[in-house]
Amino acid sequence: MRHFLDLESTGAEALRLILDEAKRRKQARAGRPKGAADDDVPLAGHMLAAIFEKSSTRTRVSFDMAMRQLGGSAMILSSADMQLGRGETIEDTARVLSRFVDAISLRTNGHDKVEALAAASGVPVINMLTDSGHPCQIVADLMTVEERLGRSVTGTVWTWLGDGNNVCQSLIEAAGLLGYEMRLSVPAAYDPDDAVVARAEARGARIVVERNPEAAVAGADVIVTDTWVSMGQSGAAQRMVAMGPYQVTEALMAKANPSAIFLHCLPAHRGEEVVDAVMDGPQSAVWDEAENRVHAQKAILLWCLNKLG
Ligand code: CP
Ligand code: NVA
């Protein structure tokens, strides 16, 4: 069974297949009304149960739109309204939902929870964000970079600024699979997991820690950041102080390649990790990146449900 829990276990071949399908489907429906179905509807009659234990705008709407455009439907569920919120186990929830639906997706804290869901599930499970990773987001990010730069991500240089968080870790995994350089410009106490870095390096990726943000962005093709305080994290005041020097400003963008683009998974905290002039500036690709979530989700769903590759 094809679960989509992290990029490392998905592998390079499947990730490339998913990326190309996302681009193909985006092009095929250019100019169509957003509610219109795709030309083909390979998920007709299929149902996704999407469970959220944390807030979401993009992920919940893009999964719902993706299922509709592919001919299926999604049930958007809040764990607080489910028996899961009153102590029913994740395994029993998986066993029951597997009898009803064709795929389950989960946004939660611990990565072990999404793994436990997958282990007990009779249908594919998709990680919609855990404290360890956000693989669906990275499919949209990779797609956006290839669209905007007009070439493969392989061989490009990315600089991550701020917190070495879940999104950062999934980008490092993708660097290992697709072969791009990741420069990590984060305060020492907020480094990503060593094991994630080691796995990407073992695959031949160049992962460089450069704590000076100006040196880190020099010659980069992609500048990427995220909130300094992820959902569920404490120590906001301390984080603001430590990450202050890593704010993405116009002056910092000017030190990257002239063709460099700015990415942010959103939601952005304007005036914290990024200033308005960058978010709304000519190098910002954040709205394309957000739109690409729906195209990416489709390809992920199709791969999980054995309709791709
Ligand atoms: N980027 C992202 O996952 O956004 P949401 O939290 O709104 O889903
Ligand atoms: N790092 C952020 C991403 C939100 C989409 C968080 O986990 O809150």
Residues 118, 106 contacting (CB under 8 angstroms): no
Q: Is 290 in the pocket of ligand 2 (CB under 6 A)?
A: no
Residue type at position 193:
D
Residues 129, 166 contacting (CB under 8 angstroms): yes
Closest ligand to C-alpha of residue 141 is 1
pLDDT above 70 coverage of the chain, percent:
100
Q: How confident is the model over 226-242, as pLDDT tens digits?
A: 999 999 999 999 999 99
- Mean pLDDT on 36-53: 98
Residue 15 CB coordination number (10 Å): 24
Which of 59, 225, 294 has most ligand 1 atoms within 8 Å of its beta carbon, as the pocket-test mutant? 59
Contacts of 33 (CB under 8 A, 6+ apart): none
Sheet holding 157-161, edge to edge: 207-209, 181-185, 157-161, 222-225, 261-264
- Mean pLDDT on 8-29: 98
Q: Is 10 in the pocket of ligand 2 (CB under 6 A)?
A: no
pLDDT value of position 106: 98
Three-class SS of 219-232: CCCEEEECCCCCCC
Q: Is 266 in the pocket of ligand 1 (CB under 6 A)?
A: yes
Q: Is 167 in the pocket of ligand 2 (CB under 6 A)?
A: yes
Q: Is 79 annotated as a binding residue?
A: no
Q: How confident is the model over 159-185, as pLDDT tens digits?
A: 999 999 999 999 999 999 999 999 999
pLDDT value of position 71: 98
Kindly give the distance from the C-alpha atom of residue 305 to the centroid of ligand 1, in angstroms, as a whole number.
23
Q: Is 304 annotated as a binding residue?
A: no
Would you give the end-to-end CA distance of the chain in angstroms? 13
Q: Where are the alpha helices (DSSP H) in 153-285?
A: 166-178, 194-202, 213-217, 236-243, 250-253, 276-279
Q: Is 231 annotated as a binding residue?
A: yes
Closest ligand to C-alpha of residue 133 is 2
Q: Is the pTM of this model over 0.90?
A: yes
Q: Is 135 annotated as a binding residue?
A: yes
Element containing residue 103 per DSSP (H, E): strand 103-107
Q: How confident is the model over 66-94, as pLDDT tens digits?
A: 999 999 999 999 999 999 999 999 999 99
Which of 170, 231, 272, 286 has most ligand 2 atoms within 8 Å of its beta carbon, as the pocket-test mutant? 231
Kindly give the distance from the C-alpha atom of residue 124 to the centroid of ligand 2, in angstroms, as a whole number.
23
Q: Where are the alpha helices (DSSP H) in 44-127?
A: 58-69, 90-100, 111-120
Which of 59, 227, 266 has most ligand 2 atoms within 8 Å of its beta carbon, as the pocket-test mutant? 227
Mean pLDDT computed over every residue of the chain: 98
| Reported confidence tier of residue 149, pLDDT bands at 50, 70, 90 | very high
Residue 306 CB coordination number (10 Å): 10
Q: Is 227 in the pocket of ligand 2 (CB under 6 A)?
A: yes
pLDDT above 90 coverage of the chain, percent:
100
- Mean pLDDT on 1-22: 98
Residues 251, 289 contacting (CB under 8 angstroms): no
pLDDT value of position 60: 98
- Mean pLDDT on 44-65: 98
Kindly give the distance from the C-alpha atom of residue 57 to the centroid of ligand 1, in angstroms, as a whole number.
5
Active site residues: 107, 134, 137, 226, 265, 293
- Mean pLDDT on 11-21: 98
pLDDT value of position 13: 98
d(C-alpha 151, C-alpha 84), whole Å: 44
Phi/psi at 159 (5° precision): -115, 120
